[in-house]
A and B are shown apart, each in its own frame.
Chain A
């Protein structure tokens, strides 16, 4: 039996979204879930599919400030969320890369990196509960709206970072934090060259979220977030000077926003290594990608590589081929890879990521999206050559 092609939709309620998914399930028609559409190249390449916008699912579902918990529609943007919580002296302790117009649903679906987040918290630390429409249109409510919860199997963790491949996130419950009395991002050049500068940062024990920024042809720069009462902020600033930060200066909100901005078509690689391999790894990556912007997080061991934006399809292919070759020189030291664009596919063939899933991953996909309709990842044949690892 053939079904009419379903058109792009923008459901405005959980029920409407469930009805949309059920219609696609009945028609066996793939869907592409989209938040604000600010970074559609962010993950592995998805097949052409009917766009289902989740932006209509915006706004507060429940918010009791005293509980430091908020439930909102997944289409709520980070800017809107911030406006709501700031009114009550609270915040979502995340500062993910990307546009403030990106949605909280997409931030969770992609488990976006959160540089300089308060207390180095990550998305997975802050999501308490989700309403998710699975690939069959079932409305599932997982987790809860309280800050601690082990009732049942943890499907919240499963959906967080699943890139919408297990269903559409419709509503989210989040843990909030009170805005600290003082909360500032400091920036300054590092006094030592890379090999001497990084080890003390890695060994640092003070709770300071930090990033080392390495722009081509520039001296390394350290960014750090210090927060708390005045005595603590002063002490942490002094600690940063001991760690090699020269002339720490507070970054303006515009500076911070600029650091988080990623051009829509930029190619981004997310690499990690053991802390003990930090120096050779960062050096090898710099050598492999001399024109890239690098950001290293000393506590997490993560390295973000932003490559120059392609100006044409031909450029894009050249860049991807170059990336694939260059990555092989650092693969020895990297423990995990992630990447935007089709580069993910090349990496996956060498490693083990999707679409060549492990049996468990494939089983999870079949369990929640048996017909592979949710954010279906494209076939391998469109991908560049596999990475030789």
Chain B
């Protein structure tokens, strides 16, 4: 039996198959989707992980890799297939401050890595809001972003090499820790493949020097439109802020009513959090330019924080905003779309109209500098009528973003949640090319089956093999 074979590899206590043990894997960070794996296996070493994937390959068993389960697209859900949990693989194998790299296992928590490298004056730059929990392996699978990706780039820009176990159980290395190799960028293709191309067993990340100085601005506006215009104005100055985030009034109120209260003005229609960092010289001049841009767009006030404690407080409200929305309703749907920056004012107005039309409450907290929207709708999932309205509103919002030339996900991934929009965004030939590339890594389509690209879009589709216990 598969269970026994896996238990022989990882130890019986690390193979979970009782319903109450599997319940913890029923959902990821996006309520609304639930699925239960047939069993969960939790390898504790690289070799165990490779052996587990090899055994699943030998038996033709589909698998779903999972890090911390904080994903927001339903991508880590295993529907009656085997779930491979990676959160026991937590070793920081090596920090090499001279070459500014670190080698880690996939289950290392994002924020823990930056804490471990701070003593060298270095950090791992991508900072998803879930960074205190989410794992580097999960970040690689999703090509995760975060507020500071505006300046520093997303996960893709910070991974230099991965050892990968492919779905057939073979092990290969992609990329090179000491420089981009010639040839196809297989590492770049692997990152963001949402577990469909294999599992990273070891990840080498690029570390970035901590900035000499950091200034964080809080600008408050009496209209969302004015805040959105200020975003374009700031970017047009030529300054690339480390982060440029927007929150609307609904979000501000939720945060200020929570334990994460950051001192945001609760009567503001919108606020911008803008951070500049780098060499200390010249930073004041950048701050002045950004302040002017905000004032030109009608900001009611601009506060500048330079002390770490003050800056942390401002950021706490932003980073915990999703959690704060738990005060509004028991469930929350989080969307993730990107639009051209100049279309932000009209798209935000349209989102407001959609919320009104469907009688749902939309809270916007997002990476404005990238045009990366996160419209969130708190709701009661046990109310069928409200759930239907939320679903309709979300579909309308996504279509709006596509219509203005945007995309359906900037950092959360497609997973299950965005699957229906893939055929709206891409034509058949483009989807077929993705299917062909997927088939190179996983010809049997056993790794995270049914995610990212609709199976019927693959011209040479063949059914995923049945689960075998």
Q: With A68-B235, A125-B157, A154-B188 in contact, is A138–B429 under 8 Å at CB? A: yes
The reply to whether the CB of B407 lies closer than 8 angstroms to some CB of chain A is: yes
B410 and A152 form a contact (CB under 8 A):
no
Of the 9-residue stretches B34-42, B323-331, B366-374, B387-395, which lies at the interface with chain A?
B366-374
Q: With A147-B370, A178-B236 in contact, is A358–B172 under 8 Å at CB? A: yes
With both beta carbons as reference points, the residue of chain A lying nearest to B367 in the complex is identified as A148
Flag A104-138 by CB within 8 Å of B: 1 or 0 each.
00000001000000010010110000000010001
Q: Distance (Å) between the CB of B118 and the closest chain A CB?
A: 14
Contact of A274 among B178, B183, B232 (CB under 8 A): B178
B279 and A144 form a contact (CB under 8 A):
no
Q: Distance (Å) between the CB of B350 and the closest chain A CB?
A: 17
Flag A157-197 by CB within 8 Å of B: 1 or 0 each.
11011100010000000000111110000000000000000
B183 and A354 form a contact (CB under 8 A):
yes
The reply to whether the CB of B413 lies closer than 8 angstroms to some CB of chain A is: yes
Q: With A158-B184, A162-B184, A231-B282 in contact, is A152–B434 under 8 Å at CB? A: yes
Distance A335 CA – B176 CA, assembled complex (angstroms): 8
Q: With A232-B279, A337-B182, A358-B172 in contact, is A154–B192 under 8 Å at CB? A: yes
Distance A142 CA – B176 CA, assembled complex (angstroms): 25
Distance A358 CA – B157 CA, assembled complex (angstroms): 24
A161 and B185 form a contact (CB under 8 A):
yes
Q: With A140-B430, A150-B412, A161-B182 in contact, is A368–B341 under 8 Å at CB? A: no
Q: With A125-B153, A149-B338, A160-B185 in contact, is A140–B414 under 8 Å at CB? A: no
B residues near A146, Cβ cutoff 8 Å: 338-340, 370-371, 405-407, 410
The reply to whether the CB of A69 lies closer than 8 angstroms to some CB of chain B is: yes
A229 and B236 form a contact (CB under 8 A):
no
With both beta carbons as reference points, the residue of chain B lying nearest to A43 in the complex is identified as B182
The reply to whether the CB of B281 lies closer than 8 angstroms to some CB of chain A is: yes
Contact of A229 among B181, B285, B413, B426 (CB under 8 A): B285
A residues near B412, Cβ cutoff 8 Å: 150
Q: Distance (Å) between the CB of A139 and the closest chain B CB?
A: 6
Flag B149-193 by CB within 8 Å of A: 1 or 0 each.
100011011000000000000001000111111111110110111
Distance A202 CA – B438 CA, assembled complex (angstroms): 39
Q: With A146-B338, A276-B99 in contact, is A235–B279 under 8 Å at CB? A: yes
Contact of B240 among A149, A177, A358 (CB under 8 A): A177
With both beta carbons as reference points, the residue of chain A lying nearest to B405 in the complex is identified as A145
Flag B431-444 by CB within 8 Å of A: 1 or 0 each.
11110111111000
Distance A142 CA – B240 CA, assembled complex (angstroms): 26
Distance A166 CA – B289 CA, assembled complex (angstroms): 45
Distance A145 CA – B343 CA, assembled complex (angstroms): 13
Distance A234 CA – B196 CA, assembled complex (angstroms): 49
Distance A233 CA – B186 CA, assembled complex (angstroms): 38
B156 and A367 form a contact (CB under 8 A):
no
Tell me the dominant secondary structure on chain B's binding face: loop
B residues near A69, Cβ cutoff 8 Å: 340
With both beta carbons as reference points, the residue of chain A lying nearest to B284 in the complex is identified as A231
With both beta carbons as reference points, the residue of chain B lying nearest to A143 in the complex is identified as B407
With both beta carbons as reference points, the residue of chain A lying nearest to B283 in the complex is identified as A232
Q: Distance (Å) between the CB of A138 and the closest chain B CB?
A: 4
A157 and B176 form a contact (CB under 8 A):
no
The reply to whether the CB of A4 lies closer than 8 angstroms to some CB of chain B is: no
The reply to whether the CB of A353 lies closer than 8 angstroms to some CB of chain B is: yes
Contact of B179 among A144, A228, A231, A300 (CB under 8 A): A300
With both beta carbons as reference points, the residue of chain A lying nearest to B439 in the complex is identified as A367
CB contacts under 8 Å to A, within B342-397, are 342, 367, 370-372
B residues near A354, Cβ cutoff 8 Å: 183
Tell me the dominant secondary structure on chain A's binding face: mixed
Count how many chain B residues have C-beta atoms less than 8 Å from C-beta atoms of the other chain.
Answer: 87
The reply to whether the CB of B422 lies closer than 8 angstroms to some CB of chain A is: yes
Flag A357-385 by CB within 8 Å of B: 1 or 0 each.
11011011011100000000000000000
Distance A142 CA – B177 CA, assembled complex (angstroms): 27
The reply to whether the CB of B306 lies closer than 8 angstroms to some CB of chain A is: no
B279 and A206 form a contact (CB under 8 A):
yes
The reply to whether the CB of B145 lies closer than 8 angstroms to some CB of chain A is: yes
A149 and B410 form a contact (CB under 8 A):
yes
A151 and B409 form a contact (CB under 8 A):
yes
The reply to whether the CB of B450 lies closer than 8 angstroms to some CB of chain A is: no
Distance A157 CA – B187 CA, assembled complex (angstroms): 9
Q: With A229-B286, A364-B186 in contact, is A64–B439 under 8 Å at CB? A: no
The reply to whether the CB of B257 lies closer than 8 angstroms to some CB of chain A is: no
CB contacts under 8 Å to A, within B40-77, are none
Distance A361 CA – B437 CA, assembled complex (angstroms): 10
Q: With A235-B281, A272-B179 in contact, is A157–B156 under 8 Å at CB? A: yes
A154 and B182 form a contact (CB under 8 A):
no
Distance A111 CA – B179 CA, assembled complex (angstroms): 13
B145 and A364 form a contact (CB under 8 A):
no
Distance A230 CA – B197 CA, assembled complex (angstroms): 48
Q: Distance (Å) between the CB of B397 and the closest chain A CB?
A: 15
B residues near A139, Cβ cutoff 8 Å: 427, 429
CB contacts under 8 Å to A, within B291-312, are none
A148 and B189 form a contact (CB under 8 A):
no
B residues near A202, Cβ cutoff 8 Å: 98
Distance A203 CA – B122 CA, assembled complex (angstroms): 12
Distance A122 CA – B188 CA, assembled complex (angstroms): 14
A residues near B142, Cβ cutoff 8 Å: 150
A66 and B341 form a contact (CB under 8 A):
yes
A residues near B439, Cβ cutoff 8 Å: 367
CB contacts under 8 Å to A, within B433-469, are 433-434, 436-441, 452-453
Distance A372 CA – B363 CA, assembled complex (angstroms): 51
A229 and B427 form a contact (CB under 8 A):
no
The reply to whether the CB of A221 lies closer than 8 angstroms to some CB of chain B is: no
B236 and A360 form a contact (CB under 8 A):
no
Q: With A157-B156, A158-B185 in contact, is A148–B410 under 8 Å at CB? A: yes
Q: With A153-B189, A154-B191, A275-B98 in contact, is A148–B372 under 8 Å at CB? A: yes
B residues near A124, Cβ cutoff 8 Å: 180, 185, 188
Contact of B453 among A153, A161, A353, A367 (CB under 8 A): A153
Distance A126 CA – B285 CA, assembled complex (angstroms): 27
The reply to whether the CB of A286 lies closer than 8 angstroms to some CB of chain B is: no
Please, could you name 16 A-B residue pairs with CB atoms under 8 Å apart, sorted by A? A66-B232, A89-B238, A122-B180, A146-B407, A148-B367, A149-B407, A151-B407, A152-B422, A152-B425, A154-B156, A155-B189, A158-B189, A202-B98, A335-B178, A364-B189, A364-B437
Which 3 pairs from chain A and chain B are nearest by CB? A232-B282, A157-B188, A272-B179
With A157-B191, A179-B238 given, can you name 14 additional A-B contacts, CB distance below 8 Å?
A111-B185, A141-B427, A144-B407, A150-B412, A152-B414, A152-B452, A154-B193, A161-B182, A162-B184, A207-B279, A235-B282, A335-B179, A360-B184, A368-B436
